[in-house]
């Protein structure tokens, strides 16, 4: 198990290098660059901008730039932001924990909604409870999350004034303050995943409920609740965990938007601004961290299988 | 009856307003909270971003500011200035202005006075590091005595003091602080002479400034906070919710109408932007005057501007906006007329005929193009114009792009040859957009007219305002007559301000909360 995990971690290195290469090439060939943006300003100081271009090595061909970048990367240096002139690593690690908190919280929200709702739907197959759950699932997937975020923000932040509309809470002000800031973004980000997982839970539960051992359990006179949760749900969890793990990538992507709506100081916002400004080193750093994060979560998901299903073993 | 009730309502509101106005007087204390989108550093010379310039303006003072009423320079750190001759300016520096103390560089009570040497150092550093602004051709900057700075320019340069993007951008920075912290460190630990001192800076969250107790004026505010809200919609919601007091710039005029109706919020107008339809005059078919001319006649600009922009902007007949020193040229309107029939005749005159699909064509080539634009009110204006063109048999369409893509595309020649044309605050926008020396940078029209170049160059060297104005407007007239661009409208700029805030002045080349012109206070 341990050696398996280590092997998987080592295998990440070439993947990350590949990702670094692909993003670098993509960005280099995509139209628009930071220097051109500066040159477009009506009052621009052309001589100083051209000097900056040379100082930052942006006048070199892209493969030379990539070679230099790679050298820095292997020394653990993510470079310096073009716009803020601050080290990229500092900027990323200030914000990364905030994004992690947000995505994990929304994963928790999604599971807290999806599992009970999906089980309820399966238990009430083709009855009102089922329709209600599937209605939610449909709505949750259909609503764009930036729109849902704005609606929640206007209702709970502006009209009812129950929750803060922006920013991250401070733990120094107490856990309640921190959580009150987290609720809206986590619910917004978690809703579409909750919808997907609700559907999935319902369908796998329906399959499992048809299985022989469930019928046997029922025939033995096990209480319906115990049949549902102890016998059926545990087996239905496996595809749920896979999907939740795979969807973590989507959560990271969604965080980019949700962080903007809720002024959440995370990595998503940093990347959005970097993309707008064509701040290549910051973009590159953020993509690498996102990718690494996704790979770690995938590994974690695989390891979790073994914990949930004793029939799976890694050697 | 309804009308009557409404006017009674308005009357009552005005009465209530005047009552509150008499009930509240200026008061010391309180916190002003300003929304911002992005602040990554506070070196005032290394940014073109409004938010960063606004925040840095609290910490640093410029020599003069551009006045709130007439856009003329008003004394600030410089008490006065004069032109010794056509190429020499002398600035008298205010005595007794101290750098901020209580920091690593100047311990409490150990700050020093600002002298002419500091101004010289600041201008030289600005010339060296600023990418966003240029001061023109400066031959020398020297301290004549402790309080007098002399600036010599290579040629007469009236714009040095009248253009908001020139000397007005130079604030005074202490050499010790830059040397102590280094270039990168100074961007996080700004120390200047301004009315507020930076207390804390948490990126993407909050910046806190506190009153400079030794300031040469008496700031009313105790504290200013810059509150991170990256989404423009949420910014205005935050003012409504009372989480912030000010959104310094409203980027989307679509929300102005709604905000005007919102109780507790006031809109402060100032300046704005020029928006038009630009041509790359070297790209076929727009290298032909007749094609550009026909398009100008084929579109009903008045209708589109009335439908989308008014009353938060108005029709433009040239590039020179109403908020710079130059006068508006009333004769320009005659250059533009809406006459679709004549547009067709012009196109037929150069060989266009209607094809089987109803599209005008010449030598089998349909008259088809995509107008490249970025997001903004112009998208809706251009949509209307495109519809009008299509009705006439010109296959026009709109292509919305990301700003960085749009900027590069325009600078490298723009394959479609027609684009959303834009300029902001500067006095010399006409020069930036149409002088041939800026080809491929700010002049994305690739317009090159020796007569226009000569007029703009001559105007830039002319100290006498009347003559400068005449030359400038003549250049504008030639450019418009050549149809290098079709001006559409001027869109006004607004600050969104909570009614608890008083004496706010919309930022113009910097945010001025405390000056000889105003002193912001909160209830």
Q: Do B204 and A95 touch (CB under 8 A)?
A: yes
pLDDT at B227: 96
Q: What is the CB neighbour count within 10 angstroms for residue B501? A: 21
**In the structure, what pLDDT confidence band is assigned to residue A82 with cuts at 50, 70 and 90?**
confident
**Residue A167 at interface with chain B, using a CB cutoff of 8 Å:** yes
Q: Do B426 and A42 touch (CB under 8 A)?
A: yes
The span from the CA of B499 to the CA of A15, in Å, is: 55
The span from the CA of B26 to the CA of A200, in Å, is: 63
pLDDT in tens, B43-88: 999 888 899 999 999 999 999 999 988 888 999 999 999 999 999 9
CB A266 within 8 A of CB A255: yes
pLDDT in tens, B345-376: 999 999 999 988 999 999 989 999 999 999 88
pLDDT at B2: 39
Please report, in angstroms and rounded to a whole number, the separation of the first and last CA atoms in chain A: 6
**Residue B203 CB contacts under 8 Å (≥ 6 apart), including other chains:** A91, A94, A265, B39, B40
Contacts of B406 in chain A (CB under 8 A): 32
Q: Is B242 helix (H, G, I), strand (E, B) or coil?
A: coil
Contacts of B402 in chain A (CB under 8 A): 32, 276
pLDDT at B4: 37
CB A121 within 8 A of CB A198: yes
| Distance from the B240 Cα atom to the nearest Cα atom in chain A, whole angstroms | 7
pLDDT beneath 50: ranges in chain B:
1-23
Of B130, B188, B407, the CB nearest to A48: B130
- Please give the residue of chain A at the shortest CA–CA distance from B167: A43
CB B36 within 8 A of CB B517: no
Q: Do A166 and B234 touch (CB under 8 A)?
A: yes
A105's tokens: 């919280």
CB B35 within 8 A of CB B50: no
pLDDT at B21: 46
- Please give the residue of chain B at the shortest CA–CA distance from A84: B40
Q: How many CB pairs under 8 A join A and B?
A: 147
pLDDT in tens, A162-207: 998 898 888 888 888 899 999 999 999 999 899 999 999 999 888 8
| Distance from the B39 Cα atom to the nearest Cα atom in chain A, whole angstroms | 8
Say which residue the tokens 């002419």 belong to: B116
The span from the CA of A53 to the CA of A82, in Å, is: 10
Share of chain A above pLDDT 90, in %: 22
Beta strands B368-373 and B395-400, pairing class:
parallel
Q: Do B433 and A157 touch (CB under 8 A)?
A: no
pLDDT at B458: 96
> Cis before residue B186, ω within 30 degrees of 0?
no
Q: Which helix (H) or strand (E) holds B112?
A: none
The span from the CA of A166 to the CA of A230, in Å, is: 41
The span from the CA of A157 to the CA of A163, in Å, is: 5
Beta strands B223-228 and B31-36, pairing class:
parallel
**In the structure, what pLDDT confidence band is assigned to residue A233 with cuts at 50, 70 and 90?**
confident
Of the candidates A270, A268, A242, the one whose C-alpha atom is nearest the C-alpha of residue A84 is A270
**Residue B263 at interface with chain A, using a CB cutoff of 8 Å:** no
Q: Where are the alpha helices (DSSP H) in A41-86?
A: 46-55, 62-74
pLDDT at B1: 36
Would you give the distance in Å from CA B265 to the centre of its chain?
23
Contacts of B229 in chain A (CB under 8 A): 166, 263
Of B41, B132, B134, the CB nearest to A86: B41
Its ipTM equals: 0.84
CB B508 within 8 A of CB B164: yes
Contacts of B227 in chain A (CB under 8 A): 166-167
| Distance from the B364 Cα atom to the nearest Cα atom in chain A, whole angstroms | 31
- Please give the residue of chain A at the shortest CA–CA distance from B232: A261
DSSP annotation of B98 reads B
| β-strand partners of B360 | B354
Q: Do B132 and A45 touch (CB under 8 A)?
A: yes
- Please give the residue of chain B at the shortest CA–CA distance from A48: B131
> Cis before residue B216, ω within 30 degrees of 0?
no
pTM of the full structure: 0.87
Contacts of A40 in chain B (CB under 8 A): 407, 410-411, 441-442
pLDDT at A80: 86
Please report, in angstroms and rounded to a whole number, the separation of the first and last CA atoms in chain B: 37
Q: Is the dihedral of CA B36, B37, B41, B46 positive or negative?
A: negative
Could you give all domains of chain A from N- to C-terminal order, each with its CATH number? 11-74 (no CATH), 88-308 (1.10.3720.10)
**Residue A171 at interface with chain B, using a CB cutoff of 8 Å:** no
Of B205, B237, B428, the CB nearest to A167: B205
Q: Do B404 and A37 touch (CB under 8 A)?
A: yes
∠ CA B495-A145-A293, nearest 5°, is 105
| Distance from the A107 Cα atom to the nearest Cα atom in chain B, whole angstroms | 24
Of the candidates B226, B172, B218, the one whose C-alpha atom is nearest the C-alpha of residue B199 is B226
Q: Do A48 and B129 touch (CB under 8 A)?
A: yes
Q: Is the dihedral of CA A266, A269, A272, A274 positive or negative?
A: negative
Q: Which helix (H) or strand (E) holds B495?
A: strand B485-498
**Residue B288 at interface with chain A, using a CB cutoff of 8 Å:** no
The span from the CA of B438 to the CA of B426, in Å, is: 15
Contacts of A153 in chain B (CB under 8 A): 234, 237
* B 101-140 residues inside an 8 A Cβ radius of A: 128-134
pLDDT at B430: 93
Torsion-angle region of A211 (φ positive above 0: left; ψ -120 to 50: alpha; else: beta): beta
CB B300 within 8 A of CB B338: yes
Q: Do A165 and B243 touch (CB under 8 A)?
A: yes
pLDDT at B471: 97
A78 against B347, higher pLDDT: B347
**Residue A158 at interface with chain B, using a CB cutoff of 8 Å:** yes
Contacts of A81 in chain B (CB under 8 A): 40
Q: What torsion do the CA atoms of A277, A282, A287, A289 make, to the nearest 10 degrees?
A: -150
């Amino acid at each position: 198990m341990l050696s398996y995990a280590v092997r998987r971690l080592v295998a990440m290195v070439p993947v990350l290098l590949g990702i670094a290469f692909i993003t670098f090439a993509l960005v280099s060939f995509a139209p628009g660059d930071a220097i051109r943006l500066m040159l477009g300003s009506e009052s621009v100081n052309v001589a100083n901008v051209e000097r900056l271009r040379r100082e930052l090595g942006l006048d070199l061909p892209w493969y030379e730039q990539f070679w230099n970048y790679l050298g820095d990367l292997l020394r653990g240096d993510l470079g310096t932001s073009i716009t803020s002139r601050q080290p990229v690593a500092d900027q990323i690690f200030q914000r990364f924990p905030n994004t992690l908190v947000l995505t994990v919280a929304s994963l928790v929200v999604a599971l807290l909604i999806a599992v009970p709702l999906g089980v309820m739907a399966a238990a009430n197959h083709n009855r009102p409870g089922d329709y209600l759950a599937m209605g939610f699932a449909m709505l949750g997937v259909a609503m764009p999350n930036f729109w849902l975020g704005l609606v929640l923000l206007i209702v709970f932040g502006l009209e009812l004034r129950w929750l803060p509309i922006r920013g991250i809470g401070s733990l120094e002000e107490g856990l309640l303050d921190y959580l009150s800031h987290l609720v809206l973004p986590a619910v917004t980000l978690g809703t579409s995943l909750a919808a997907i997982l609700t559907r999935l839970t319902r369908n796998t539960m329906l399959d499992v409920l048809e299985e022989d051992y469930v019928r046997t359990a029922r025939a033995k006179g096990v209480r319906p609740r115990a049949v549902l949760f102890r016998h059926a749900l545990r087996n239905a969890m496996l595809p749920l965990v896979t999907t939740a793990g795979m969807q973590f990538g989507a959560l990271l992507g969604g965080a980019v938007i949700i962080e903007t709506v809720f002024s959440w100081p995370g990595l998503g916002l940093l990347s959005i601004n970097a993309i707008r400004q064509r701040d290549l080193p910051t973009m590159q750093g953020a993509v690498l961290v996102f990718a690494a994060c996704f790979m770690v979560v995938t590994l974690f998901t695989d390891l979790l299988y073994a914990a949930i299903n004793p029939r799976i073993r890694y050697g | 009856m309804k009308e009557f009730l409404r006017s009674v309502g308005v009357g009552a509101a005005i009465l209530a307003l005047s009552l509150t106005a008499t009930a509240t007087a200026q008061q010391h204390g309180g916190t002003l909270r300003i929304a911002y989108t992005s602040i990554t550093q506070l070196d005032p010379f290394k940014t073109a971003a409004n938010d960063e310039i606004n925040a840095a303006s609290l910490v640093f003072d410029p020599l003069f500011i551009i006045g709130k009423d007439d856009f003329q320079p008003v004394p600030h750190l410089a008490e006065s200035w004069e032109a010794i001759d056509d190429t020499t300016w002398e600035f008298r520096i205010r005595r007794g202005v101290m750098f901020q103390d209580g920091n690593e560089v100047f311990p409490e009570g150990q700050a020093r006075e600002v002298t002419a040497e500091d101004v010289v150092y600041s201008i030289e550093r600005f010339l060296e590091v600023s990418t966003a602004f240029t001061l023109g051709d400066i031959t020398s900057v020297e301290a004549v005595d402790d309080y007098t700075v002399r600036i010599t320019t290579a040629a007469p340069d009236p714009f040095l003091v009248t253009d908001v993007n020139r000397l007005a951008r130079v604030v005074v920075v202490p050499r010790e602080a830059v040397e102590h912290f280094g270039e990168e460190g100074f961007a996080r630990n700004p120390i200047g002479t301004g009315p507020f001192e930076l207390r804390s800076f948490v990126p993407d969250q909050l910046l806190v400034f506190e009153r400079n107790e030794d300031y040469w004026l008496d700031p009313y505010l105790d504290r200013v906070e810059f509150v991170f809200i990256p989404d423009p919609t949420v910014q205005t919601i935050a003012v409504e919710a009372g989480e912030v007091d000010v959104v310094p710039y409203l980027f989307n005029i679509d929300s102005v109408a709604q905000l005007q109706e919102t109780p507790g919020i006031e809109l402060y107008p100032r300046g704005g932007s020029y928006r038009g339809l630009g041509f790359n005059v070297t790209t076929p078919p727009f290298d032909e005057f007749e094609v550009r001319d026909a398009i100008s006649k084929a579109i009903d600009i008045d209708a589109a501007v009335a439908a989308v922009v008014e009353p938060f902007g108005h029709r433009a007949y040239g590039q020179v906006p109403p908020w710079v020193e130059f006068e508006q040229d009333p004769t320009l309107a005659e250059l533009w007329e809406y006459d679709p029939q004549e547009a067709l005749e012009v196109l037929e005159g150069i060989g266009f005929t209607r094809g089987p699909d109803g599209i005008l064509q010449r030598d089998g080539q349909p008259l088809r193009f995509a107008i490249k634009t970025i997001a903004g009110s112009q998208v809706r204006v251009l949509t209307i114009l495109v519809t009008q063109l299509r009705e006439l048999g010109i296959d026009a369409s709109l292509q919305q792009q990301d700003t960085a893509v749009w900027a590069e595309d325009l600078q490298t020649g723009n394959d479609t040859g027609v684009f959303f044309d834009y300029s902001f605050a500067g006095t010399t926008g006409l020069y930036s957009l149409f002088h041939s020396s800026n080809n491929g940078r700010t002049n994305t029209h690739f317009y090159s007219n020796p007569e226009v170049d000569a007029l703009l160059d001559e105007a830039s060297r002319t100290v006498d305002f009347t003559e400068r104005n005449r030359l400038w407007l003549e250049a504008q007239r030639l450019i418009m007559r050549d149809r290098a661009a079709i001006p559409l409208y001027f869109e006004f700029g607004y600050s969104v301000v909570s009614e608890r805030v008083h004496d706010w002045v919309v930022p113009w080349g910097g945010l001025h909360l405390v000056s000889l012109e105003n002193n912001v206070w909160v209830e």
